[in-house]
Structures are given as structure tokens and as C-alpha cells.
Amino acid sequence: MPKIRKNIAISESGFVFDPLSGESYSLNPLGLEIIHLIKNGQTYEELSEVLLAKYEVDQETLDRYFYDFIATLKQFNLLEVETDA
């Protein structure tokens, strides 16, 4: 599971600030919920279970949205760099 960089500031209203780049972003409510679940250390299975129960969405649509969202977070350098151990 990807991890959000520790220095990223996230407000309860969905405002995201990256102090390294000075960039800021706005998240929709689902994006904000996904960020919080990731930051709380949820596995993808746990995150998926929560979101499938809460929203009227099927697994395939959730998977696609999640991985597109993660790709966007990577593009904006908001995730920790994964190193091979």
C-alpha cells in the first residue's frame, strides 16, 4: 500500500499542501476519505471494504478509481518513495 509523505498537510476540508513544492491541491470527499484511510495504515482490502459498504459502487469501478487516484498522487509527488529492501 502506498504511503502519503509525512510532511504533506491535509485539512479536513480536503485542502492538500506540499511544503517542498509550495503546491496546493483540493480533494473531493472520496479522495479525502481515501487519503485518511491510507494515512491510518489501512490495507487495500480494508479500504475497499469500507468504501464498498459506504458508496454504491462495484469492485471494478472502485479499483479503477483507486489506482487512478494513486497514479495522480504519484504524479504530484505526494507519496513516499518506495525503496527495494
pLDDT tens figures, 15-59: 999 999 999 999 999 999 999 999 999 999 999 999 999 999 999
Q: State the pLDDT at residue 83.
A: 60
| pLDDT at residue 69 is higher than 70 | yes
Q: State the pLDDT at residue 58.
A: 95
Strand runs labelled E in the chain: 9-10, 15-17, 24-26
Cα 50 to Cα 37: distance, rounded to the nearest angstrom: 9
15: left (phi over 0), alpha (psi -120 to 50) or beta: beta
| DSSP H or E run through 80 | none
pTM value is 0.86
Instruction: Specify whether the CB–CB gap between 14 and 28 falls below 8 A.
Output: yes
